Each structure stands twice: as structure tokens, then as C-alpha cells.
């Protein structure tokens, strides 16, 4: 009698990727803990910055609060700011006031007359040129601008030493200031006047002219 036997074998697979992932997770735990601490510290720093900002604002408010003058602050307003403006100092009496305007100021106007033509030469001061003052600002044909007597960093257009009256007229209008100029033919073709007028009710004046050889100046009274 013959006996036969059979044998079988089986193979098992290993999930390498899963094992590697698990090992990396274990290895990264210390690093993850450090990252969490860094994030927490950054949050604390941000919150400290907010606190510092609020403390600075509180300090500013307390400084104003400690100033005795802040308790006596006065404010003044005008019902028509086109006619008058108002301001009040500390300690001013509280109340209302009526202001009566008898006459509104008008712009200054001048006429320099007796030019024989619009191309007649003008004799300017050799050292300073022609200087016109509008409000607190002084303009010179030498290119210098002064504000309250102090030379400004800004400059005016430069005009030649002996310009024509037309050149002077154009120079005044090119300043961009509260002043305008016009050259007007009056009684005849040989009679011209340079009309200069302030704008916005501001006063204007000028100097450094050679009146001995230049036509006469006539002031036009305010209307």
C-alpha cells in the first residue's frame, strides 16, 4: 500500500510604507512639540504688543488729564465764517456775541500810468529788481521769494534787468499769487496803464522802482 503526502507553503507581505510613516511620526513628536511652543510664544508676544499699545494710549490720555489747562479749554464758532472767524483762549467768558460788519474789505488796486506803448522799457532797481509784496510774501524779479522776511526755498521767475511793461505784466501774472495784472490802453494809442490788483481782499504793494524816469503811480481807492 502506497501513502502519498502533500505539503503547502504560504508567503506573508510586509507594509514597509506604513512602518516608515509610523516611525517618522514617532521621530517628529519632539519637533512638533517645539513648533507648538514657538507658536504659543509668538501668540504671547503679539498679545504683549497689544497691551503695550493700549498702555501707551492710556499714558497719553493721563498726560492730558493731568494738565490743568485742559479743564478750562474754550471753543468759539462763528455762524458765518465767510464774514468772521472766532477763537477763544482758556478762561474766556462763556457767552455769545453779535458782530456787525459795516464794510467788507476789498482788494488793493493800483494803476501805473502814462506809458507811451505796451513795449516801453521799465527801469528796475539794478540790485533788487522789482519787488511786489502780497500779504506776508515778497516776490522779486531777481527770483527771490521771502515769507515774513525770511528767504524761501521756493523761487520766482527771473525777469531781465530792463523789461518792457508787457514783460512785467506777464511776470506778475505768472507768480501764481493772490495778485493779478493787466495792461490797458487808456485815452489814446500812446497812453497805457499797468493795472495791479490784489485777490481775495489781500493787500499788495511794491517797491524798487526808479520813479525819476518811470511813469507816475496812481492808487485807486477801495470801493
pLDDT band at 223 (very low <50, low <70, confident <90, very high): very low
Q: How far does Cα 49 stand from its chain's mean position? A: 32
* Spatial separation of the C-alpha atoms in residues 39 and 36, rounded to whole Å: 5
| Closest-CA residue to 132 (of 119, 118, 120, 146) | 146
Q: Is pLDDT at 148 greater than 60 in this prediction?
A: yes
Q: Is pLDDT at 90 greater than 80 in this prediction?
A: no
Residue with cell 514597509: 16
| Closest-CA residue to 177 (of 163, 196, 192, 158) | 196
Please check whether residue 138 is in contact with residue 150, taking contact to mean a CB–CB distance below 8 angstroms: no
Q: Is pLDDT at 133 greater than 50 in this prediction?
A: yes
pLDDT of residue 146: 92
* Spatial separation of the C-alpha atoms in residues 28 and 31, rounded to whole Å: 5
Q: What is the pLDDT of residues 18-35, one digit of tens each?
A: 777 877 777 777 777 788
pLDDT band at 47 (very low <50, low <70, confident <90, very high): confident
Say what the pTM is: 0.49
β-partners of residue 198 are 179
pLDDT of residue 173: 92
Amino acid at each position: 500500500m502506497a501513502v502519498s503526502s502533500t505539503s503547502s507553503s504560504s508567503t506573508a507581505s510586509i507594509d514597509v510604507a506604513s512602518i516608515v510613516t509610523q516611525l517618522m511620526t514617532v521621530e517628529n513628536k519632539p519637533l512638533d512639540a517645539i513648533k507648538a511652543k514657538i507658536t504659543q510664544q509668538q501668540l504671547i508676544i503679539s498679545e504683549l504688543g497689544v497691551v503695550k499699545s493700549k498702555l501707551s494710549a492710556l499714558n497719553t490720555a493721563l498726560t492730558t488729564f493731568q494738565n490743568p489747562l485742559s479743564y478750562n479749554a474754550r471753543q468759539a464758532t462763528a455762524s458765518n465764517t465767510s464774514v468772521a472767524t472766532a477763537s477763544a483762549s482758556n478762561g474766556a467768558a462763556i457767552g455769545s456775541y453779535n458782530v456787525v460788519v459795516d464794510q467788507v474789505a476789498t482788494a488793493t488796486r493800483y494803476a501805473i500810468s502814462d506809458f507811451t506803448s505796451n513795449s516801453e522799457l521799465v527801469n528796475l532797481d539794478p540790485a533788487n529788481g522789482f519787488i511786489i509784496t502780497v500779504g506776508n510774501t515778497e516776490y522779486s524779479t531777481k527770483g527771490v521769494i521771502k515769507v515774513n522776511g525770511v528767504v524761501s526755498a521756493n523761487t520766482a521767475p527771473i525777469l531781465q534787468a530792463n523789461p518792457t511793461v508787457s514783460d512785467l505784466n506777464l511776470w506778475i501774472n505768472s507768480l501764481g499769487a493772490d495778485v493779478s495784472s493787466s495792461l490797458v490802453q487808456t485815452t489814446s494809442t500812446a497812453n497805457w496803464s499797468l493795472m495791479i490788483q490784489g485777490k481775495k481782499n489781500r493787500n499788495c504793494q511794491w517797491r524798487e522802482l526808479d520813479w525819476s524816469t518811470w511813469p507816475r503811480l496812481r492808487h485807486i481807492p477801495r470801493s
